[in-house]
Amino acid sequence: MLRMIVPFCLGLVTVLAATPVAARSAQLKAAKITTPVGTLEHVQLRLDWPSTQAFGTLQLLAKRVDAPSLGYHFRNVQWQCPLQHSEAAGWQCAGPLRSGTAPPMQLAVQLAPDMTRVDLAQGRARITLAQRAKTPDLTTLDLTQVPLAWAQALATQAWADSHLKAGLLSGRLAVTAPSRDALQIVGTLDVQGVGLENSDSSIVAEGLGAALQLNYLSRPAQAQLQLEGELLRGEFLAGNTYVALPQAPVKFQLDATQHGQEGWVLPKITWQDGQTLNAQASAQLSADGALQTLAVRAQSQDMTPLKAHYLSGWMGLVGLSGVELRGKASVRAEVNQQGLESVQAELEGVTVDDPAGRFVFDGLQGSVVYSAKQQVESALRWNGGQLYGLAFGATVMPFTSAHGQLRVREEVPIPFLDGTLTLRDVVIRPPQANEGMDIRFGMRLADLDFGKLSQALELPAFQGRLGGDIPSAHYANDRIDFDGGLSMQIFDGRVAFSSLSLERPFGTAPSLSADIEMDDLDLTRLTEVLGFGSISGKLDGRMTGFRLVNWEPVAFDARFITDAKKGVKQRISQRAVQDISSVGDASFFSSLQGRLIGLFSDFGYRQIGIGCRLENQICAMSGLHSAGNAFTIVKGKGVPQLDVIGYNRAVAWPTLLERLMAAGRGDVAPVIE
């Protein structure tokens, strides 16, 4: 707006100089006036100069002031000031400038024979414009503590969806605006405390500082931008990418071109952050700012700060926000509108460590190469690691990429718990278009040490070897579905999981659900480990609707019942009777006198059955059969014939757990009726 007002002031002064001294006023009206920068409409420029005074009063009124190349549009512009003249300084005028309802600014204009100078100020903010007579197409702008919001209109020209919220701008710009050539802006800028966002807050910046060199060229059919400098502190979010800049300056460079109304093309983007991240990229945007293509090459010689500064947004999205990275890595990637087109990741001595104890990978080495079109091969190996505190050994994963998928070429045996965990049929499909990551695999467990597993999971000291098979599993949308279920051999019997799924496996409050069937478990081995007295026989069971949230039970319908087998004794010790009674709020009865029970160390039984339906932290208890509020847990056999009857069918789940743990410790006393 300054470059548009000044010519009219100069024009009126010219009229004044040619007017006889006795004249007291001069006035200029125009329906529309055009300058190299823009246009003014319905303009009135009036000068009143009483012959008895050494100064006059200048008044400018304009209903519309438009500078489309800069993106500025003003309405109802008013400026009034006392006009003075001297041979040395020329014409000078300073006064308040108003536009619409915006707060007024102070505008000072000096029209010297060899130079035109304009100062616009508001508080500590100041813009100084200077134009010399020898170079009328060149204007210099000096900026001091200017609110970044003043540049909103200019920023909208390059980024229509931008909203500048905070920040101060200082620097010097040279603006060249010939009447028949391109508009060019060149100079240096220093910005502090930048805050900006777009309409849906998918792009946000706070507290950014920068020292920049700018070269902007605008023609009717093309715009070009060259920007380079250093970023100083602050943070910004772009989609899922969150960047927290380090204390040390980050060097960057950006070249961009826009043809007509098309989107911006960015042939060169560079980023230099010491040993943490050095990247080169090129990109193309659509007219609405959406990403169409992106090609990136990035290297990190020290991955330790990488997550905190650049990866926390993406890692937090999959529940890995606390994971620590160490080592060296390089990545090449290409993205188009459909999603990931290719990626090549090279790892050198990389360690991935989750402080929460969920997993650790040591000594990752090699490469992973993916292509949506070509067939390529790669291999990644590691020295070892842990999964929820369970150590696993070294292995190599050979990959083949073809038809938009990444496959593991063969079965991969991994040493695990003194046995082997074998991955097979692994197929990975990277995110494409509106679909996220998709992984399918099978898994086989062979001869695992169940004792070590129990210790790591803080379970009772179960012993034995563990085997099982997952024919097919599918990961998508932060959820794993084990399509074929899981089958394990344990306690000389079998435990089968069906309808097995795991939501948010590495996120907040992971949730596991399943139906569980148990067949012919050896009760002697089971009760010895649980410290639950001694019971011989075989046990069947089922748990439907079993659900854990954050690894704590929240719902299930469970029932366990003994299965009579030919040649298998069914005996229960007095300690086991006491433990069952304490857990089930039960008493036991015998056909003999109560005082004779103490003479027997164990008893024969016909059947044992107990159930619990957990809902809202309350366990609804059941047994072999029920009568009113009572339910039979143990049906005796032989002499003495002993039955165990429960009387409380609603037990708080925390209370039930306390009783189970107390029974395992032997902290119960006999109850005989």
Pairwise CA distance, residues 71 & 41, whole Å: 17
- Among 113, 148, 176, identify where a domain stops: 113
Q: Which of 379, 407, 489, 389 is nearest to 445 (CA)?
A: 489
Look at residue 409 and tell me if it is in a domain: no
- Report the distance separating Cα 120 and Cα 5, nearest Å: 12
Q: Which domain holds residue 168?
A: 137-317
Q: What is the pLDDT of residue 18?
A: 46
CB 256 within 8 A of CB 295: no
User: What is the DSSP track for 630-663?
Assistant: EEEEEEE-SSS-EEEEE---EEEHHHHHHHHHHH
Whether residue 104 is found in the same domain as residue 157: no
What is the total residue count of the chain?
Answer: 673
| pLDDT given at position 397 | 95
- State both tokens at 403: 């038809």
In tens, the pLDDT along 297-318 reads 999 999 999 988 988 887 876 6
Number of compact structural domains in the chain: 3
Asked if residue 293 belongs to a domain, the reply is yes
**Could you tell me the CA-to-CA distances from 39 to 32, 67, 296, 318, 436 in Å, in that order?**
7, 7, 43, 54, 51
The pLDDT score that the predictor gives to residue 32 is: 87
> Could you tell me if residue 382 is inside a domain?
no
Residue 20 pLDDT:
46
Work out the number of other CB atoms within 10 angstroms of the CB of residue 14. 11
In angstroms, the CA 602 to CA 124 distance is 94
Q: Are residues 168 and 250 in the same domain?
A: yes
Enclosing H/E stretch for 420: strand 419-429
Instruction: For residue 134, count other CB atoms closer than 10 A to its CB.
Output: 8
Selection from 605, 550, 547 nearest residue 574 by Cα: 605
**Pair of tokens at residue 177:** 């605006």
CA dihedral sign, ordered 304, 309, 310, 315 = positive
Per-residue model confidence (pLDDT) at position 592: 45
CA angle 467/470/473 to nearest 5° reads 155
- 125 domain residue, yes or no: no
Regarding whether 147 and 44 lie in a shared domain, the answer is no
10 Å CB burial of residue 109 (0-12, 13-18, 19+) is buried
- Indicate the residue among 283, 317, 351 that finishes a domain: 317
For every residue of 197-230, DSSP letters joined together read E-TTSSEEEEEEEEEEEEEEEE-SSEEEEEEEEE
- Specify if 433 maps to a domain: no
The parts of the chain modelled with pLDDT lower than 50 are 2-3, 16-22, 590-595, 668-673
Which residues make beta-bridge pairs with 382? 395
Question: Which of 282, 298, 317 corresponds to the end of one domain?
Answer: 317
Same domain, 108 and 147: no
Cα gap 217→225, rounded to integer Å? 6
Nearest to 28 by CA among 42, 49, 17, 18: 42
CB atoms within 10 A of CB 632: 21
Same domain (yes/no): 159, 306: yes
For residues 508 and 549, give the distance between their C-alpha atoms in angstroms, rounded to a whole number: 10
Residues 146 and 94 in one domain: no
Provide the pLDDT for residue 558: 95
Phi, psi of 418, deg, nearest 5: 60, 10
Whether 108 and 155 share a structural domain: no
Helix, strand, or coil (residue 505):
coil
| DSSP designation for 465 | E
Q: Is 437 within the bounds of a domain? A: no
The reply to whether 108 and 159 lie within a common domain is no
Asked if 301 and 184 sit in the same domain, the reply is: yes
Residue with tokens 């794993």: 480
Same domain, 538 and 641: yes
Q: State how far the Cα of 143 lies from the Cα of 146, in Å rounded to an integer.
A: 6
Q: Is 159 part of a structural domain of the chain?
A: yes
* 94 plus 175 within the same structural domain: no
Q: Do 527 and 636 share a structural domain?
A: yes
Nearest-5° Cα angle at 51, 48 to 54: 85
- 344 in a structural domain: no
Q: What are phi and psi for residue 281, nearest 5 degrees? A: -150, 160
Residue pair 516/510 in contact by the 8 Å Cβ criterion = no
